């Protein structure tokens, strides 16, 4: 089942996808663009989870499914596992990846702390662009989990690049 | 000989049904597949302690009818594969090996 895909192609495709949806299709509506990108990720995650759970025995509970996402699923997608998993045992999980592969090529702004209002607004723009790139992996996680029978909501947090964490809230 | 293969989605919606016999038998085979879905649900909801554990994907012989044997396989994403066969001396192990090959 092994077919090789060039990683730089994937990087370019994702960058172009985010850029097209934000700047061309839904130019002034970032929420719609974000939802569309997340929906694409949902489809991808849905189908990928079907493929990657083929040989495995069934999951006994939610924690097993999340551990599958952290280990096998993440390994298939990014050739590494999730670095840190935290849970509050009440349906919220935080998955932390210390070096998220799709963000490694993204520039990190080294702006001074007390910048002018212009610089601050530029920083805010950069933050929104960075968060746009994370809607796709959030969708992938959400699609994979919902195909395993776990409806959830996934959001991402990028307080320090290139590490990022994904927060999964399972709907009761 | 396998007379019917069916793939059923997680909301019991038929995704693919193919029968390999004469046309007038096809409806009966559809009916058998439909009935076997109930057996699958039963096995999933009441796991037998002596039988396969909750982790088994291959459900084994679901039930024998007068001419046929019906086997089931459940994936992690709740997609069910139903196999109807007339082979009376087929063993569980053979079918268990065939099903993963069919999926790929």
Share of chain A above pLDDT 90, in %: 31
CATH class of B2-102: alpha beta
Q: Do B75 and A50 touch (CB under 8 A)?
A: yes
Find the CB nearest B77 among A1, A49, A60.
Answer: A49
Highest mean pLDDT among A36-45, A69-78, B2-11, B68-77 belongs to A36-45
ipTM above 0.85, yes or no: no
Calpha distance B97→B86 (Å, rounded): 18
What are the φ and ψ backbone dihedral angles of A23, each rounded to 5 degrees? -105, -25
Per-residue pLDDT reduced to its tens digit, A100-152? 888 887 776 655 555 567 777 777 777 778 888 899 999 999 999 998 889 99
Mean pLDDT for B85-98 is 69
Q: Do B56 and A58 touch (CB under 8 A)?
A: yes
Which pTM does this prediction carry? 0.83
- B67 shares contact with chain A (CB less than 8 Å): no
pLDDT of residue B50: 44
Domains and CATH numbers, chain A: 7-170 (3.30.1380.20)
Find the CB nearest B75 among A1, A54, A60.
Answer: A54
pLDDT of residue B52: 44
Chain position carrying tokens 């840190």? A84
Q: What is the mean pLDDT of chain A?
A: 85
Kindly report the number of other CB atoms within 10 A of residue A45's CB atom.
26
Q: Which sequence spans correspond to the domains of chain B?
A: 2-102
What are the φ and ψ backbone dihedral angles of B62, each rounded to 5 degrees? -80, -55
pLDDT of residue A161: 76
Nearest CA among A165, A7, A113 for reference residue A154: A165
| Minimum Cα–Cα distance from B78: chain A residue | A148
- B15 shares contact with chain A (CB less than 8 Å): no
Q: How close does chain A come to B88, measured CA to CA in Å?
A: 28
């Amino acid at each position: 089942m092994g077919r090789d895909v060039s990683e730089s192609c994937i990087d370019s495709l994702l960058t172009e996808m985010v850029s097209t949806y934000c700047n061309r299709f839904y130019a002034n509506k970032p929420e719609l663009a974000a939802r569309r990108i997340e929906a694409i990720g949902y489809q991808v995650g849905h189908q990928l989870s079907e493929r990657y759970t083929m040989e495995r025995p069934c999951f006994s509970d939610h924690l097993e499914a999340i551990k599958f996402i952290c280990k096998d699923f993440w390994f298939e997608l990014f050739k590494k596992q999730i670095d840190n998993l935290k849970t509050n045992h009440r349906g919220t999980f935080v998955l932390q990846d210390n070096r998220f592969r799709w963000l490694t090529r993204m520039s990190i702004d080294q702006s001074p702390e007390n910048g002018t209002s212009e610089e601050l607004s530029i920083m805010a723009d950069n933050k929104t662009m960075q968060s746009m790139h994370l809607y796709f992996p959030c969708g992938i996680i959400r699609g994979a989990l919902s195909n395993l029978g776990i409806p959830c909501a996934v959001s991402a947090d990028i307080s320090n690049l290139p590490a990022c964490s994904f927060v999964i809230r399972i709907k009761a | 000989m396998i007379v019917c293969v069916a793939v059923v989605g997680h909301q019991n919606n038929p995704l693919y049904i193919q029968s390999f016999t004469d046309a007038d038998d096809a409806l009966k085979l559809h009916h058998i597949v439909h009935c076997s879905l109930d057996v699958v649900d039963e096995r999933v909801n009441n796991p037998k302690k002596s039988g396969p554990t909750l982790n088994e994907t291959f459900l084994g012989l679901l039930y024998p009818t007068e001419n046929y044997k019906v086997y089931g396989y459940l994936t992690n994403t709740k997609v069910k594969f139903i196999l109807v066969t007339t082979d009376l001396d087929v063993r569980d192990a053979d079918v268990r090996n065939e099903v993963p090959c069919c999926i790929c």
